[in-house]
Amino acid sequence: MNKNERRVFLLDFEKPLWELEARIEQIRRLAKENNVDVTKQITQLGNRAENLRREIFNGLTPSQRLQLARHPRRPSTLDYIQSIADEWIELHGDRGGYDDPALVGGIARIGGRPMVILGHQKGRDTKDNVARNFGMPAPGGYRKAIRLMEHANHFSMPIVTFIDTPGAWAGVEAEKLGQGEAIAFNLRQMFSFDVPIICTVIGEGGSGGALGIGVGDKILMLENSVYTVATPEACAAILWKDAKKSSQAATALKITANDLKRLNIIDSIIPEPSGGAHVKPLEAAIILKKTLLQNLNELSSLSAKKRKELRYEKFRKIGIFFDSESEYLDY
């Protein structure tokens, strides 16, 4: 990616860091052209850039993490699959006449282990996003997903899902085709599968669109991803009749990985390279691969019966929390 292209997708809070890095690169280039040794100065500026990077990314607000989760250069499901899989064969169709481009899946081999991987797929630019329906699956997408998961269960292959959607397609046509039924069917079936299931939020996990492939033995989140019952914009519009209050809604919704880990809704947080997964996508993929294999090894040591029991108990506990007097409430 050249600098001009990177500038187009620069987030506001990234600008000071980008300007400092551009300055370092300019000094390095001028020094080389004039045969001047500026190693000491470059080292000092590099340390300053690293400190600034830590300062920015350690203090991100929920709204800023949402911006990172939606970053157009953030790695997608297919990006991660192509980076971590030794072999990959994409499968198509819901066996009902439709192949949803917003939800992709197929058979892969990672670290010598065959498995089925599926996930939401957003586009990289406007044209691609329109083709992918902005990562919002139709009912056929969830029916394709359950077909692939049933295939995995039948052949005793683990299931890995990547969640990255603002929500399921909310169009009238989707409702006519049974959107709610398709998602509900997936929820029920995923609880019944014998094989290990790992669900990872890699970007934006929104509403029932995320839950449709989100029932697993392990729920993981990348550090700068979000997981929420509704987008902050929708929440603000509903509660305050003002979508501009989305930053306030993002804080109230507890959408970040740290918030959800504290609430025991997710199992663990996958760290991202400094600056976010979009800055060093290959490094992010390596970390993701290592985490997935570790969790698969752990889950594979359990019996199918034990996994299903723990899966059920895990989701039954969601919604239990402690008030200020340490008395739990269960809704």
Residues 74-96 have a mean pLDDT of 95
What's the pLDDT tens digit per position in 111-146?
999 999 999 999 988 999 999 999 999 999 999 999
Cα three-residue angle 203-125-89, rounded to 5 degrees: 65
Q: CA-CA-CA-CA torsion for 60, 65, 67, 70, nearest 10 degrees?
A: 160
Quote the percentage of the chain above a pLDDT of 90.
64
The pLDDT of residue 50 is 77
Where would I find the beta strands (DSSP E) of the chain? 87-91, 103-110, 113-120, 159-165, 197-206, 218-222, 226-228, 268-270, 320-322, 328-330
Instruction: Dihedral sign for Cα 249, 251, 253, 256, please.
Output: positive
**Every domain of the chain and the residues it spans:** 3-59, 66-320
| CA 226 remoteness from chain centre | 7
- Give CATH for domain 66-320: 3.90.226.10
Task: Read off the pTM.
Answer: 0.86
Residue-wise pLDDT tens digits, 265-317: 999 999 999 888 998 999 999 999 999 999 999 999 999 999 999 999 999 98
Contact present, 191 and 312 (Cβ < 8 Å): yes
Beta strands in 7-121 (DSSP E): 87-91, 103-110, 113-120
**CA proximity to 63, closest of 229, 208, 276, 244:** 244
Note whether 9 and 72 are within 8 A (CB). yes
Q: Which of 275, 226, 282 is nearest to 11 (CA)?
A: 275
Instruction: Give residue 41's pLDDT.
Output: 76
What pLDDT is stored for residue 1 in this prediction? Answer: 42
The 3-state DSSP class for residue 256 equals strand
Q: Tell me, what's the pLDDT at 322?
A: 62
105 DSSP assignment: E
pLDDT at 147 over 90: yes
Question: Residue 38 — very low, low, confident or very high, per pLDDT cuts 50/70/90?
Answer: confident
Give whole-number Cα distances, 86 to 7, 92, 131, 166, 310, in Å: 33, 20, 27, 29, 30
Q: What pLDDT sits at residue 158? A: 97
| Tens-place pLDDT, residues 234-245 | 899 999 988 889
Contact indicator for 197, 158 with CB cutoff of 8 Å: yes
The residue count of the chain comes to: 331
Determine phi and psi for 61, rounding to 5 degrees. Answer: -80, 165
- Paired residues of 211 in beta bridges: none
CA dist list (Å): 59 to 7, 13, 53, 132, 202: 22, 11, 10, 33, 20
Task: Give the model confidence (pLDDT) of 11-27 as tens digits.
Answer: 777 777 777 777 878 77
Q: Is the confidence at residue 7, as pLDDT, over 50? A: no
